[in-house]
Amino acid sequence: MAKMIMTVDDSASVRQMVAFTLKQNGYDVVEAVDGKDALAKLAGTRVDMVITDLNMPNLDGIGLIRGVRANPSYRFTPIIMLTTESQDGKKAEGKAAGATGWIVKPFKPEQLVAVVKKVLG
């Protein structure tokens, strides 16, 4: 059974490219438009990994990570930040919140797939 990965981004074109890349490599993908939407969908869907943007309306990436980690079922679920943000401070904040890794946009498909394979084992 294919692993389910959630892509969270307020940019439809980024979600589209993440979904395209992952689906071509055999993963199932669920999309969420922001952190709030992601948490709602996580409640009803079994997700093996989350790839999220940082800056989003309603609930940003850091808030999303905190929300996900608060759920015992997702305590060890890999969460990768995919953002244009490259400041060390933000990275440290993400890491402290429970992020597994950080990718600065734009990503190359092979990079994303390599990261997914690495963190999903």
- Cβ 44 to other proteins, closest distance in Å? 26
CB of 23 to other proteins, least distance (A): 8
Nearer to other proteins, 13 or 44 (CB): 13
Binding site for other proteins (CB under 8 A): 9-14, 16-17, 20-21, 24, 55-57, 60, 83-87, 90-91, 95, 99-111, 114-115, 118-119
Q: How many CB atoms lie within 10 A of CB 94?
A: 23
CB of 47 to other proteins, least distance (A): 19
Q: Is 31 exposed, middle or buried (0-12, 13-18, 19+ CB in 10 A)?
A: middle
CA-wise closest residue to 10 among 64, 50, 55 = 55
Judged by DSSP in three states, 73 sits in helix
| Phi, psi angle pair for 106, to nearest 5° | -85, 150
Closest to other proteins by CB, 43 or 87: 87
Min. distance of Cβ 75 from other proteins in angstroms? Answer: 15
